Amino acid sequence: MTNRITKKHLEFRVKLLNELFGERTEAWTKGLDGKYSANPGTFVLDCAYGGYRLSRICNDGGGEHDLTARGTARETYYAIGAYINGAQAMKAAA
């Protein structure tokens, strides 16, 4: 029997990925004026239609660039894991 991959597992991996790349872990920041602005470069988990995908915020307006195809929680878990492994390998080589 396999363990179920939940949204919480995916969110933890996205947080780890942001930390490895030195990005903020929150997609949006509230300014002193009370308005929210996006944090470009931040990895985010996109959830829709029962599937998940890894995206990255690409501008101040909150536009997202899709990094993976939409898939099941398990497929997305492994895809994010590949990004984490790559980031760790880059750090080790530096």
Question: What integer is the mean pLDDT of 73-88?
Answer: 97
User: Structurally, how many domains does the chain consist of?
Assistant: 1
2 located within any domain: no
In a domain, 76, yes or no: yes
Is residue 72, in this structure, part of any structural domain at all?
A: yes
Domain membership of residue 57 (yes or no) is yes
State yes or no: pLDDT of 2 exceeds 80: no
Provide the pLDDT for residue 39: 96
pLDDT beyond 70 at 36: yes
Kindly state the percentage of the chain with pLDDT values over 70: 99
Give the DSSP H/E element, type plus range, for residue 7.
helix 7-20
Provide the domain limits for residue 88. 7-93
State the chain's mean pLDDT as an integer.
95
What pLDDT shows up at residue 1?
54
| Residue 42, pLDDT score | 98
Name the 3-class secondary structure at 28.
strand
Mean per-residue pLDDT for 18-37? 94
12 belongs to a structural domain: yes
SS3 content of the chain, % helix, strand, coil (to 5): 35, 25, 40
Give, in degrees to the nearest 5, the angle at Cα 24 between 12 and 32.
Answer: 125
Q: Is residue 58 part of a domain?
A: yes
